[in-house]
Amino acid sequence: MLVNLSNKRILLGISGGIAAYKSADLVRRLRDAGAEVRVVMTAAACQFITPLTLQALSGHPVHTELLDPEAEAGMGHIELARWADLVLVAPASADVIARLAAGLANDLLTTLWLACPGIKVIAPAMNQQMWVSSPTRENVECLLGRGVVVLGPASGSQACGDVGAGRMLEAVELARHCAGLFATGSLAGRRVVITAGPTREPIDPVRYVSNHSSGKMGYALAQACVEAGARVTLISGPVHLPTPERVQRINVGSALEMLSVAESAVSDGCDIFIATAAVADYRPVSVAEHKIKKTGDALTIELVRNPDIVATVASRPDRPFVVGFAAETRQVEEYAKGKLRDKRLDMIACNDVSRADIGFQSDDNAMVVFWDGGSQRLDKAPKTLIARELVSLIARQINPSL
């Protein structure tokens, strides 16, 4: 079964026990499934496995001390707790389970546990007699009563020679269970490439041809795709917007640059391509080396047609699902249907950019979406909401069972 933890942030707490060696494999499995992993180790855990090993595997410094000025200068411990979608303590020793149940905050791991608002999971590992002992049973019951998920332990022969329940579940099983704790997004595991914003076509070193696109629609789509579980590459023309979290953004200037970046992003793997960008249809034939001086009453700039990015992507033999936009000021739906056909798109979202209350620059939009054999009107709403609606239309086209 495919384990999918795309875009999930997992804080892995390792406590002291021989099973700590399995946590190295666990980090790898979680990352292979798409999660970002940060590791916190108790002092006892550091006796069994080195922080350096976990740092190499997770790709991030390992946190061990509650009062560490150097670590706090980076991602502070409260920030780290808030960052995590899920905190997993694996292995969870009898000692750490007792401290979690008692609500202690006497080291970094227990403090983070208390401060983390996300899903809480423990994977117990200890001697079989300790596992069945009354204090441990009561502590586990107490954690279960607070909504903590307890994974395992498994039964079998133990490092101490005993046989019984107390072995930590295998890393692959833990990763699978963690994935199951997240609601699956409608685009879980899909790779999405989005173009957004305007392009700038230089005339000379100080002037360019461009348009009014602010990038808001494309950025809202990037955010909505991430929320739906996709991995998103956002190819952005010059805009003044912050990059949505967990989105890989590549800045470009001209249409030719946008085309080149789009082609390589699609070649790297792309399931869905969404062309929100307002790409300049024409560019100056030549770019003057120096600022053009005023020499007469009129100036003629010759323009040449730019390549069509979305049509180029749609013509690839390995084409992804391709969604275009149509910005029109009249006969909006008619022109959009023509673009759907002529550019060989799977879907097109058309908006009336003659309206001041939607379209370019506005925080709101309204559109009609067309695909082969269907259409859907999306009434005026904030671009963030319109983006979510469009994402669910795309998801349903890709996977009709949704």
For 302-371, give the DSSP string. -EEEPP-HHHHHHTSTT--EEEEEEEESSSHHHHHHHHHHHTT-SEEEEEETT-SSSSSS-SEEEEEEEE
Q: How far is the CB of 326 from ligand PMT (least distance, A)?
A: 4
For residues 339 and 324, the answer to whether their CB atoms sit within 8 Å is: yes
Out of 36, 227, 308, 352, the only residue in the binding site for ligand PMT (CB under 6 A) is 308
Q: How far is the CB of 179 from ligand PMT (least distance, A)?
A: 34
Out of 42, 111, 214, 233, the only residue in the binding site for ligand PMT (CB under 6 A) is 214
Say which DSSP state 74 is in: S
What's the sign of the alpha-carbon dihedral 309, 310, 312, 316?
positive
CA 7 to chain centre: 4
* Burial (0-12, 13-18, 19+ Cβ within 10 Å), 201: buried
Q: How far is the CB of 267 from ligand PMT (least distance, A)?
A: 17
Q: Which stretch binds ligand PMT (CB under 6 A): 36-44, 100-108, 137-145, 209-217?
A: 209-217
Pick out residues in 340-369 that bind ligand PMT (CB under 6 A).
351, 353, 359-361
In the shown chain, the binding pattern of residues 165 to 204 toward ligand PMT, with x for contact by CB under 6 A and - for none, equals ------------------------------x---------
Out of 213, 223, 384, 397, the only residue in the binding site for ligand PMT (CB under 6 A) is 213
Pick out residues in 315-334 that bind ligand PMT (CB under 6 A).
324-327
Q: How far is the CB of 225 from ligand PMT (least distance, A)?
A: 15
Q: How many residues bind ligand PMT (CB under 6 A)?
A: 27
Out of 127, 128, 254, 306, the only residue in the binding site for ligand PMT (CB under 6 A) is 306
Q: Which helix (H) or strand (E) holds 14?
A: strand 9-14
Q: How far is the CB of 231 from ligand PMT (least distance, A)?
A: 21
Collapse the DSSP code of 229 into the 3-class scheme (helix H, G, I; strand E, B; otherwise coil) and give the result.
coil
**Which residues are marked as active site?**
160
Of 72 and 271, CB closest to ligand PMT? 271
Cα–Cα distance, 233 to 193 (Å, whole number): 5
Q: How far is the CB of 68 from ligand PMT (least distance, A)?
A: 43
For residues 247 and 222, the answer to whether their CB atoms sit within 8 Å is: yes
In the shown chain, the binding pattern of residues 132 to 161 toward ligand PMT, with x for contact by CB under 6 A and - for none, equals ------------------------------
Helix, strand, coil percentages in the chain from 3-state DSSP, rounded to 5 = 35, 25, 40
Out of 8, 191, 246, 339, the only residue in the binding site for ligand PMT (CB under 6 A) is 339
Cα–Cα distance, 392 to 162 (Å, whole number): 53
- Distant-in-sequence, close-in-space partners of 338: CB < 8 Å, separation ≥ 6: none
Collapse the DSSP code of 178 into the 3-class scheme (helix H, G, I; strand E, B; otherwise coil) and give the result.
helix
235 forms bridges with which residues in the sheet?
A: 195, 250
| 215 binds ligand PMT per the rule CB under 6 A | yes
Q: Which stretch binds ligand PMT (CB under 6 A): 17-25, 166-174, 211-219, 369-377?
A: 211-219
Of 41 and 309, CB closest to ligand PMT? 309
Cα–Cα distance, 34 to 89 (Å, whole number): 19
For residues 207 and 232, the answer to whether their CB atoms sit within 8 Å is: no
Q: Which stretch binds ligand PMT (CB under 6 A): 52-60, 138-146, 155-163, 274-282?
A: 274-282
Could you list the residues that contact ligand PMT (CB under 6 A)? Answer: 195, 213-217, 255, 275-279, 281, 306, 308-310, 324-327, 339, 351, 353, 359-361
